[in-house]
Structure 1
C-alpha cells in the first residue's frame, strides 16, 4: 500500500489475545467483517453463534443480554432502546388484528397509550381490569385474549396484586402473560419461579433505565423469556423493527450491574423509613408502599417478597406515594412539590437523586379505586442521599406549602 491513508484505514495490526479486566470490552459496530463468503452465508446471529451486523449483536450486547437473563432468572433476553420499547416489542410480537390484550388499570401509562393508539389502529382491542380482583381478570378473558399484562407493584399507586393467582389463572386459560418487572428488578421476587415450584410468567419486560443503569443517564429496556419459541417470536420482531442499543449504553449498564443489589437495598431502606414517617403526618390521608401494613396488597407483597433478602424483611423498590388530603388545593400540592430542595421534579427513578412527581389520578384510571383515600397522589423515588436529609426536606416543604408545623 503506497498511500499512508490507505495504510491507516487498512492497518493490519491485531492486538494480542488474552486481555482480561473487571469490565467487558466495548464493541461498537454497524459493519461486521467476514473472512469469506461461506462464513457470511453461514453465520447465525439468532442463537448467538456468530456476528453478522451491529444491530444483531456484538460481544458487548450479547454479554449484557446474558447477564440480564441471569438477573431475571430467564434463559434468553433481547435489548431494546427503552422500557416502553420492551412493552411495544412484546405486544407487536404476540398480537395481531382481531386479538385482545388485557392491561391492569394501574399500569404504566404509556402501556395504555400504546394500546389506545397504535394497537387500536392495527385492529387489536384492549380492556382494563382491576389488578386487585382476580375474579375481574377472569371475567374479562375471552377467546380473543392473547396477552395479559401484569404489573407488581402498580404504577404510581403502588398496589401489589396477587401475582401468583393471576399467573395461575393465565396458565389455566392458556393465555400468555407478560410482567412489567421494572419495580422488582429481578431482586424483589423471581418472575420465573413465583411459588418455589416453577410457576412462571411467560415474559418479563424490564426498563433497564431504572435500577440496572442506576445513573439516570441511560435509556434501555429488555425482554426476557424462558421459552425458546416465544423468545424467537420476540427476537424476529425485534429484528424487523430494527431495534438496537449502543455499545456505550450497554457498557454503562454492564458497569452498574454489580452494584444493583446494594443500590436497590439502600433505596428500599430509605423509602420504607420515609414512608413510615409520612404515615404519621396528618397532611397525608394515605401512604402507599407495599411493605407497609394496610397498604393495598401488602399481604400479597409479603407472600412474594417477604423473604427475598437475607434479613427476612422482604425487598421493595425505593418508591412510595402519598395521598395529600383533599382539603389541600392543587395549588398547595404543587407548592409543596416546588418547595422540595433535595427531591427533584423529574420522571423515572432508580438513579442516585431522589425525585418527586404529582399526579392527576382522575385522568389515569377508569374510576377512582375504592381502596384509595381522596386527595392528590404524589409519588416519591428515593435516591442515595442520607435519610435524615430527605426527611428534613419533606418536613420543611410541608411547613412552607401546607402550613404543617
Structure 2
C-alpha cells in the first residue's frame, strides 16, 4: 500500500518529489519508488523478509506508529520492498493518492468492491467482464446482500436508466475480457458520478501507461500485476489505485481482511515493472504484425482487436488510449470445435494457458455465450455459425516466427476437411 511521495502523510522526499519536473510515463516506470531510505547504496530496494518489526523500547511501543507506508509496525503492513512497489504504481496513475497491493488480481477486484459496497447495495457490472468477476457476484457479493445487475457496456444511451437509489458502484472492463469491446469509459464514468456511484475499472489490458483511468473519470483503477507488470509468468499479485478518500477505504478494508503480498513477490513485480514500457511497446508492435497477417485469412470471420483500424472499437481506442498490448482475439469462420482444437494443438510457440502479459505467447479457446446475461454471443448481425473464438497473447518472440507458427495451425485445421 503506497501513498504518493511528497504527500503530507508520506515519509521523506522521494525521487519524484514535487520539486522535480514532471517525468514522462516510461521514466516514471524506471524511477518510481526508489527512495534512498529504501534502496541505500544499491539500485533496487532489498528484499525485507520479516513478520516482526521491533520497537526501540516501551515508550516507542506506547507512542505507536502511523498507519502509513514508511512506518514499521508489523509485517502485514509491509516493509520497504512492498512500499517501493506500491509507491511506484501510484506514480504511474495520475490522480492517485495511493495504491493497495493484493495477493492476486481477483483479490484486488474483490477487495475494491467490498470497500465501496454494503448490504442492500446494487452493483452494475459490465456484461463482458472477466468471468471470475461474474463468479464473485454470485458467490461473494450475493450472500452479503449485494445485488449485481449486468449491462451492455456499449449502450451508453441506456446506461443512466440502469441506476436506482440503491446503485452504489459500477465495474467496467475495457477492452472487455475475451471479446475486446472498448466502451466509452469517460461517458459511463460521468453518468455514474452524476448518479452518486463509484466507478471501478479493471485496467489490466492497457495499464496506466496505455489508459490513465483516474484521469478518464474512473474512481478506482484495478490491475492484475500477475500479467504485464510481473511480465515473467512467475508471480501472483493485484493492485488498486485511487484518490482520497477512496484510497483510505481501500487500505482499511484490505488491512481488515489481512491482505498482504510477500516481499519476494514484490521484488519480482518491481523487476518486471522497470521494463513494462518497452515490453508493452514491443508486444503492441508484434501484435499489429500478427493481426495484419490474420486479417488476410479466409478462415477468420472477425478479428477482435481495438488496435486494428476499421474495427468497431478502433475509434474509441484511438480517442481515449495512449497505448496497447499484445492481447486480442479472433473468431473462426464456421468450423467446429474439433477444427479449432487442431489449430491450437498444432501451435508450437504458443503455450495453452489462462494468463497473459508475460514474455511468452499464449493461446486459449473461448466460447463466451454461457457467460453473458445482458448481451448475446454471437452478437446481433453475425452469422450464428461464426462463434468459435481464439484468444492470443503476443509475447516477445519475433513476430515472423509467430506468424509461421500460426500458418502451421491453419494448415492443421484444414487437414481433416
TM-score (norm 1): 0.89
* C-alpha displacement of 1:372: 5.7
Are residues 1:50 and 2:71 paired? Answer: yes
Q: Distance in 1 between matches of 2:39 and 2:112?
A: 38
Alignment gaps of 5+ in structure 1 = 1-16, 195-199, 309-314
Show the 5 A alignment for 1:65-84. 65-73=86-94, 74-84=96-106
- Contact 1:398–1:404 under 8 Å retained in 2: no
- Contact 2:203–2:211 under 8 Å retained in 1: no
Q: In structure 1, which of residues 305, 308, 316 is the aligned counterpart of residue 324 of structure 2?
A: 316
Counterpart position of 1:189: 211
Q: Distance in 2 between matches of 1:235 and 1:247?
A: 18
Counterpart position of 2:256: 240
Match of 2:286, SS state, is helix
After superposition, the Cα gap between the structure-2 partners of 1:104 and 1:354, relative to the gap in structure 1 and judged at 3 Å, is: same
Match of 1:333, SS state, is helix
Q: Distance in 1 between matches of 2:363 and 2:242?
A: 33
- Contact 2:39–2:45 under 8 Å retained in 1: no
Match of 2:301, SS state, is strand
* C-alpha displacement of 1:257: 1.3
Q: Distance in 1 between matches of 2:62 and 2:135?
A: 41
Match of 2:120, SS state, is coil
After superposition, the Cα gap between the structure-2 partners of 1:347 and 1:102, relative to the gap in structure 1 and judged at 3 Å, is: same
Alignment gaps of 5+ in structure 2 = 1-37
Counterpart position of 1:147: 169
Match of 1:186, SS state, is helix
Counterpart position of 1:216: 233
TM-score (norm 2): 0.87
Q: Distance in 2 between matches of 1:40 and 1:300?
A: 54
- Contact 2:367–2:387 under 8 Å retained in 1: no
Are residues 1:171 and 2:193 paired? Answer: yes
Counterpart position of 2:402: 390
* C-alpha displacement of 1:72: 2.1
Counterpart position of 1:12: none
Q: Distance in 2 between matches of 1:139 and 1:403?
A: 51
Q: Distance in 2 between matches of 1:85 and 1:41?
A: 33
Q: Distance in 1 between matches of 2:409 and 2:116?
A: 47
Q: In structure 1, which of residues 298, 320, 325 is the aligned counterpart of residue 333 of structure 2?
A: 325
Range moving further from structure 2, 117-126 or 47-56: 47-56
Are residues 1:253 and 2:269 paired? Answer: yes
Are residues 1:271 and 2:287 paired? Answer: yes
After superposition, the Cα gap between the structure-2 partners of 1:344 and 1:37, relative to the gap in structure 1 and judged at 3 Å, is: same
Q: In structure 1, which of residues 108, 117, 120 is the aligned counterpart of residue 139 of structure 2?
A: 117
After superposition, the Cα gap between the structure-2 partners of 1:156 and 1:371, relative to the gap in structure 1 and judged at 3 Å, is: farther
Could you list the structure 1 runs, at least 4 aligned residues long, displaced by more than 4 angstroms after superposition.
Answer: none
The Cα offsets for residues 129-158 of structure 1, whole Å up to 9 and x where unpaired, read as 101111232221111111101111110011
Q: Distance in 2 between matches of 1:123 and 1:162?
A: 29
Aligned residues: 374
Q: In structure 2, which of residues 167, 180, 183 is the aligned counterpart of residue 161 of structure 1?
A: 183
Match of 1:30, SS state, is coil
- Contact 1:93–1:237 under 8 Å retained in 2: yes
Range moving further from structure 2, 88-97 or 35-44: 35-44
- Contact 1:40–1:52 under 8 Å retained in 2: no
RMSD: 1.7
Q: Name the larger-Rg structure.
A: 1
* C-alpha displacement of 1:49: 4.8
The Cα offsets for residues 44-94 of structure 1, whole Å up to 9 and x where unpaired, read as 352225111111121111111100111222220110001100000011111
* C-alpha displacement of 1:398: 0.3
